[in-house]
Structure 1
Amino acid sequence: MTWGIIGTWRMVHDGLVAASKMLQENKRVGDAIEECVKAVEDYPYYKSVGYGGLPNEEGILEMDAAFMDGDTFEIGGVAGIVDAKNPVSVARALSKQKFNSFRVGEGATKFARLAGFECGNMLTERARRTWELRLDEVKKNNLNPYDGHDTVGVIGLDLSGSMAVATSSSGLFMKKAGRVGDSPLSGSGFYVDSEIGGATATGLGEDLMKGCLSYEIVRLMGEGLSPQAAADKAVYGFHHKLRKRYGKAGAFSLICMNLKGEWGVATNVDFTFSVANESAAPAIYFAKMGQNDTTVIEPITEEWLAAYEKRIKQPIE
């Protein structure tokens, strides 16, 4: 058997390195991807996930997360949860519930507390200050307040042939209270079937929810398409359809992996991701839309990495 793991954005890489070691050591895929996502949730400089995530327009950090087991199709999700240290772990626990496996708002937060998950204030001073500055900027310049919507999504395959997928996001910065994007929604934000493969999405949830691209990619892989071919067909086909029928298409990027550990990526924006499998060590890549509905994928440079680290840690005035 083989193993593999792929995740969205540069922010997933450090967790993915640790998770890849777990998979090589024959650990279960659910444990590996949960730990991978938790590493992102716990890092205060990633402003779109977990601790350090940016709040809604009222200054409240509402988070969404999901977990799906590709063997059993068990799914757990939370939306609008607050004060939970690791929403992905709460979602995974809910996936074991026969009923009430998708909880929102106060119900999700109550479940996390009663189930013994670590809870506390997840809004950092850095995130609060970013919110204050954005409020002032919007008022002074009459701007659209919305900004930022990067979800961490991870798909994994272990040596037993089991697959799983997990997502976590603080959603759209300055969103209305109670807004939920695609991240916790099966078929849209994620989908996995251990007999075929899995997919997960990041981008503008309002547009991603207009298509069920994660499910569509898995369906196309099930029909025999390679992961890359399936991603290209689903993503660019929907991108063009949305622009024709809706007049525009927001940012969206999808990653996928099949039961052989082969992977694919398609995006309509500049996008980074990290991936590893039995034949390739963990590495970060840059992807963008190419010609004729194809995806251009290149390794990132050391210069890009250095600039990224500097940018996410720069002081907030």
Structure 2
Amino acid sequence: MNKWGTIATWRMSYEGLVAASQLLTEQNSAADAVETLIQKVESYQYYKSVGYGGLPNEAGVVQMDAAFMDGDTFAQGAVAGIEDVQHPISVARALSRNHYNSFLVGTGATQYAKLHGFTTTNMLTARAKKIWENRRAQLRRQSLNPYDGHDTVGAIALDQQNSLAVGTSTSGLFMKKPGRVGDSPLSGSGFYADSQVGAAAATGLGEDIMKGCLSYEIVRLMAAGCSPQQACDQAVYPFIQKLQQRYGQAGEFSLIAMNTKGQWGVATNVEFTFSVATSQSHPQILIAYPAEQQSTKIQPVTPEWLAAYEKRIKKPLD
């Protein structure tokens, strides 16, 4: 069996990664693996930063962003501010087949999805609406930072034909301004893939991630001879330091990468979970932390962490 691999951001990607791993084992394409993985996350109502159940914007509307890239051809498709579409990643992948009009936003993206038969549904769940209502009430009583819950699912897959694909999907910042777009659908910032080198994807505060075009920079460093881990460390940590010095602050950054050998890497400035599997290792959930000398500490998550996570995301609302 030829080498294959897949890596994705956050604990929420694990079930999708298991499904993607099975596809890759059966010699399916990296593109199918990425789409399947992200669809699983988009469908799960308790993941409040992606798809169905995603937290709405300031006006109470769930606006989603997604992107897909084929590392063989550099073909890309993306949507931003799309509404009431069950799987934005599938729309993005379909758009990647177009030479023109491959990145659609707002009503144009939504209309395209409807005209081309993509499943539409109300993406605002009762739980997400209640969280929104509670936050609005809090904001009336006291000054709070509404911008939380912005974890993007980013996924990379390497198939047995040595092709790479990458995708992203997110409902973006909670209580964002209507029409706000982060890094996730932006080529080179939220994602990048080159089947002769590797791929990378980002999650975190898009306004700051896009200042560094970090996904492209990681792929560039891999092309120059760095391992995925070296590339992540060398791209992410110096830029965070530079941003703090020149812009005055840096938001949350977490990036993942994989090369054509199935080797992977991550870098982060927060506690960051991710899922990974290769032809040499079973699917697993790991946790990463920033470490000394601009490096990354990685270890398995504990059963206690996983139990606390499940309890937290399903916690009854007041």
TM bucket (normalised to shorter chain) is over 0.9
In the alignment, what sits opposite 1:306?
307
Q: Give the match's secondary structure for 2:232.
A: helix
Q: Deviations over 1:228-279 (max 9, x none)?
A: 0000000001010000101111001000000000000000011000000011
Q: Which moved more, 1:99-108 or 1:135-144?
A: 135-144
Q: Which residue of 1 aligns with 2:153?
A: 152
Deviations 1:171-212 (A, max 9, x none): 000000000000000000000000000000000001001110
In structure 1, what is the Cα distance between the partners aligned to 2:214 and 2:78? 18
Q: Secondary structure at the match of 1:173?
A: coil
User: Which deviations, in whole Å up to 9, do the C-alpha atoms of 1:65-116 show, x marking residues without a partner?
Assistant: 0000000100000000000000000000000011100000000000000000
Q: Hey, what does 1:86 align to over in structure 2?
A: 87
1:114-161 deviations in Å (ceiling 9; x for gaps): 000000100000000000000001110122322221000000000000
1:107-256 map, 5 Å? 107-256=108-257
Gaps of 5+ in 1: none
Q: Give the 3-state SS of the residue equivalent to 1:183 in structure 2.
A: coil
Secondary structure in structure 1 of the residue aligned to 2:54: coil
Q: Distance in 2 between matches of 1:268 and 1:129?
A: 31
**Distance (whole Å) between structure 2 residues aligned to residue 157 and residue 28 of structure 1:** 8
Give the Cα separation in 2 of the matches to 1:47 and 1:268: 21
Q: How many residues are aligned here?
A: 317
For 1:305 and 1:146, how far apart are their aligned partners in 2?
A: 24
In structure 2, what is the Cα distance between the partners aligned to 1:85 and 1:240? 38
- Residue aligned with 1:47, SS: coil
Name the SS of the counterpart of 1:84 in structure 2. coil
* 1:32 equivalent in structure 2: 33
Other structure's SS at 2:298 match? strand
Match of 1:281? 282
1:152, 1:17 → 2: CA distance?
A: 15
SS of the residue aligned with 2:79?
strand
Q: State the Cα distance separating 1:302 from its structure 2 match.
A: 0.5
**Identical residues among aligned pairs (%):** 64
Q: Distance in 2 between matches of 1:288 and 1:144?
A: 24
The SS at the match of 2:53 is coil
SS of corresponding position for 1:311 = helix
Aligned-partner Cα distance in 2 for 1:48–1:190: 18
What is residue 22 of structure 2 aligned with on the other side? 21
TM-score with structure 2 setting the length: 0.99
Summarize the alignment of residues 92-107 of structure 1 with structure 2, pairs less than 5 Å apart: 92-107=93-108
* Cα distance in 2 between the residues matched to 1:90 and 1:192: 18
Q: Which amino acid aligns with 1:44?
A: Q
The Cα offsets for residues 6-40 of structure 1, whole Å up to 9 and x where unpaired, read as: 00000000110111011011011111110000000
Q: For residues 36 and 230 of structure 1, what CA distance do their matches in structure 2 show?
A: 24
Deviation per CA, 1:290-313: give whole Å up to 9, x if none.
000000000000011011001100
- 1:35 and 1:66 map into 2 onto residues whose CA distance is 14
Structure 1 counterpart SS, 2:118? coil
CA distance in 2, matches of 1:146, 1:71: 36
* Equivalence for 1:54: 55
SS for the counterpart of 2:256 is strand
Q: Which residue of 2 aligns with 1:290?
A: 291
Distance 2:229 2:146 in 1: 35
RMSD: 0.5
Distance of 1:144 and 1:252 partners within structure 2: 18
TM-score, normalised on structure 1? Answer: 0.99
What letter matches 2:154 in structure 1?
Answer: G
- Partner SS state of residue 261, structure 1: coil
Q: Which stretches of structure 1, 4 residues or more, deviate above 4 A after TM superposition?
A: none
- Give the equivalent residue in structure 2 for 1:74: 75
